[in-house]
Amino acid sequence: MWLNQNMRETIEDLCSPAAVAETGLFDASFVRQILDEHFQERRDHRKHIYPLLCFMAWFRNHAT
């Protein structure tokens, strides 16, 4: 099962290249790659995307 396409806007916002780079913890180009593969339904990356999404939401709310 793919992450719901309805969540794509939220995922794209929280996991934007700028937001990912701001953490200093992840490779923004790799994150972009797994998001692209997932949303094009070439690979199921939900096991990676969901924890990343949770962290990015936490980071946005608490790290600034």
The domain spans of the chain are 5-62
* Lookup result for tokens 């600034």: 64
**Two tokens, residue 59:** 């980071």
- For the chain, state the CA radius of gyration: 11
pLDDT single digits (tens) 11-53: 999 999 999 999 999 999 999 999 999 999 999 999 999 999 9
Give pTM, 2 decimals: 0.87
Nearest C-alpha neighbor of 54 from the set 14, 27, 12: 14
Q: What is the pLDDT of residue 2?
A: 57
